[in-house]
Amino acid sequence: MPSLKQVDLDPVYLEQPEAAIIEKIAQRKKELGDSLLILCHHYQQEAVFRFADLTGDSLKLARAASQEKSPFIVFCGVHFMAETADILTTPEQTVILPDLRAGCPMADMAAIDEVEYAWDDLQEALGESTIIPITYVNSTARIKALVGERGGSVCTSSNAEKVLTWALEQGDKVFFFPDEHLGRNSAYALGIPKDEVVLWEREKPLGGNTVEQLKKARIILWNGYCTVHMQFAPEQVEMWRKREPGIKIIVHPECRHEVVSIADHYGSTEAIINTIRDSPAGSKWAVGTEINLVNRLKNQYPDKEIHSLSPFQCLCSTMYRIKPVYLLWVLDSIVAGHPVNRITVPPEIAEKAKLSLNRMLTI
Ligand code: 13P
Ligand code: SF4
């Protein structure tokens, strides 16, 4: 979780009507011109998303951060994304997260101490085997540093299969964290047999495995998950197929394998957007991902019939913490010359984390 504490906003901000806030953000953007770059993840709410200079999934935004030269980058997303941007930008660039409480519950499921202990236990149990660590980008900078130091790579939802293939060429086994489901879906897509994929339950000794099971395994999955994507279920897929014959199901690979395996398509947020954009008018979709993105797709493609796969509102409440009023507050602080909510990864961690991020960017 963020180490800085989010300060309470001056009541002056909270008393303003949303329309006035929106107008002021536009004004601040104009004043800051090219010195400001606003990056927005696809799960951001519309009132913030409309101000994006660049939008994308985690991979696209990480690449943008490594290439863009603006001195101020305001990251409308969650904490690990802003950390990644800080690692990939120069020390002269300032990365800002509008609300420091915007964390990712999945990233918090892999605490550095837990992963270090698990790594040591695995090394001891497996003796001579070479284990390659892979971390999903939804992890802290410290975890990325641990992976970088040990010869591993970061992956995102759009390159997990590629990175896994690379890792299996480098060593005998892969230790994949924090997302069990992305790891499992990618391993099965590569044809790795089910009995060579084991779960590491972080609460149990040896992750709940015997030494024999670990020796047989090629992929060892940390038991972390996304609270939003866990809400999609195979029954919802069946319900839509019964209700709307011809409907296509598309889901994010953070969903459980029971859902991904029966969907018509799966992919990162960017892949979901592109697949629906390129589908013919009149096509019908049930989409298994965060609700802000599903609603945006509905509005953008009125010629298609787009539904959320789940009957419930699958909202990422931490992404939703980035509200227009916080965006205005951070822009005001830049204009005033005292930027707030700067995300700074200590250099000794950033250096090692960069190894694992750069491995991903070159694989
Ligand atoms: P992508 O946008 O990279 O697919 O990731 C989704 C996500 O959960 C971000 O937290
Ligand atoms: Fe984390 Fe899931 Fe929210 Fe993405 S959607 S930021 S994985 S909780």
Residue 338 CA to ligand 2 centre (angstroms): 30
> How far apart are the C-alpha atoms of 87 and 121, rounded to whole Å?
29
- H or E, element range at 350: helix 347-362
Whether 44 is in the pocket of ligand 1, judged by its Cβ within 6 Å, is: no
Side chain identity, residue 291? I
Q: Could you say which ligand is closest to the alpha carbon of residue 269?
A: 1
**Distance separating the N- and C-terminal Cα atoms of the chain:** 29
- All residue ranges of the chain with pLDDT < 70 are 1-4
Token pair belonging to 129 = 């085997």
**pLDDT the model gives residue 10:** 86
Please return the burial class of 283, using the count of CB atoms within 10 Å of its CB with bins 0-12, 13-18 and 19+: middle
CA-closest residue to ligand 2 atom 3: 316
| Contacts (Cβ under 8 Å, ≥6 apart) of 105 | 226, 227, 318
> How far apart are the C-alpha atoms of 73 and 96, rounded to whole Å?
6
> How far apart are the C-alpha atoms of 149 and 167, rounded to whole Å?
15
**pLDDT the model gives residue 2:** 47
Residue 332 CA to ligand 2 centre (angstroms): 28
Q: 206-238 burial by CB neighbour count: b if 16+ within 10 A, else e?
A: bbebeeebbeebbbbbbbbbbebbebbbbebbe
CA-closest residue to ligand 1 atom 2: 57
Helix 141-149 × helix 112-126 angle, to 10°: 30
Whether 269 is in the pocket of ligand 1, judged by its Cβ within 6 Å, is: yes
Nearest to 140 by CA among 166, 177, 173: 177
What 3-state DSSP class applies to 56? strand
Residue 315 CA to ligand 2 centre (angstroms): 9
CB of 221 closer than 8 Å to CB of 183? yes
Q: How far is CA 178 from CA 105, 138, 155, 184, 296, in A?
A: 10, 8, 11, 11, 28
**pLDDT the model gives residue 8:** 84
Residue 209 CA to ligand 2 centre (angstroms): 28
Strands (E), 1-149: 36-41, 54-56, 72-76, 94-96, 131-136
CB of 74 closer than 8 Å to CB of 40? no
Q: Could you say which ligand is closest to the alpha carbon of residue 231?
A: 2
Residue 284 CA to ligand 1 centre (angstroms): 23
> How far apart are the C-alpha atoms of 59 and 296, rounded to whole Å?
20
For 165, other C-beta atoms within 10 Å of its C-beta total: 13
Residue 62 CA to ligand 2 centre (angstroms): 16
Whether 94 is in the pocket of ligand 1, judged by its Cβ within 6 Å, is: no
Whether 57 is in the pocket of ligand 1, judged by its Cβ within 6 Å, is: yes
Whether 138 is in the pocket of ligand 1, judged by its Cβ within 6 Å, is: yes
- Which of 84, 99, 228, 315 maximizes ligand 2 atoms within 8 Å of its Cβ, making it the mutation to test the pocket? 228
> How far apart are the C-alpha atoms of 252 and 225, rounded to whole Å?
13
| Contacts (Cβ under 8 Å, ≥6 apart) of 176 | 133, 134, 135, 136, 164, 183, 187, 219, 220, 221, 222
Residue 328 CA to ligand 2 centre (angstroms): 24
Structure-token match 């700074």, residue found: 344
CA-closest residue to ligand 2 atom 5: 316
Residue 176 CA to ligand 2 centre (angstroms): 17
Token pair belonging to 17 = 């009507």
**Reported pTM:** 0.96
Side chain identity, residue 142? R
| Contacts (Cβ under 8 Å, ≥6 apart) of 304 | 276, 279, 281, 282, 283, 284, 285
CA-closest residue to ligand 2 atom 2: 226
Q: How far is CA 193 from CA 158, 198, 218, in A?
A: 22, 11, 9
Query: 311: alpha, beta or left, given left = phi > 0 and alpha = psi -120 to 50?
Result: alpha
